[in-house]
Amino acid sequence: MPPDRALLHALCGGALIAVAGGAFTFAAAQEKTVVVTVTGSAEQSCSLGQPEPDGGAQSNFDAPSGSIFSISVLGDPVTLSTRAASLTLEMEASCNSAHRVLLASDGNGLWRNGVTTPVAGFGSAVPYRASLLWADSEESLIAEAAQRRNVERELLVSGPSAGQMRLEFAIAAGDTNAGTGAPLLAGEYSDVLRVTLESQ
């Protein structure tokens, strides 16, 4: 038998062990790795809750009915002009990216409902101010009631934000579209304010 192919036989514990070759060699342990990658994405999104009155921060307003907020006394019974009114609303809001908030008025003031024939010296619309406070910023909409039309203001926010959005609404005493202190025509007055939150 050639020396480089020698066989060594030994009896060990009843087992026959054979080692072949001129040198002892051992196979290295083999290691295998499997890589698993998990992916997902969060879409740009915003949420906005229903407006709720800020406790105590209102004057001359009735209890709300859903999203309708009624002024208790719009026309002062003594002066016949506008009585002051104010209201602060809070809304739960969140956006997970840069976004914008639109504050819009459908009518640019509270206008007398229905077809109104102008009467000299009498007001048929009431101006107001609406201020939006969000993400350490503020934007105000002045509805001057000079002309019935849509007006809006935009608040841009450069990053994500979450928390309470505030909307402050105020009517000054005597404000009408016929001048300060003018009497208001009898009737129902209204406007629609819209707050829109959208990602960018």
Average pLDDT over residues 50-70: 91
Q: Is the pTM of this model over 0.85?
A: no
Dihedral sign (CA 169, 172, 176, 179):
negative
Tokens 């906005």 locate to 48
Compute how many other C-beta atoms are within 10 angstroms of the C-beta atom of residue 128: 24
In the predicted model, what is the mean pLDDT of residues 88-116? 96
Position 34 in a domain: no
In a domain, 95, yes or no: yes
Residues of the domain holding 92: 46-199
Q: Evaluate whether residue 1 is within a structural domain.
A: no
How confident is residue 173, by pLDDT bands cut at 50, 70 and 90?
very high
Q: Is residue 37 part of a domain?
A: no
State residue 29's pLDDT score: 79
Distance, in Å, from the CA atom of 169 to the CA atom of 55, rounded to the nearest integer, reads 14
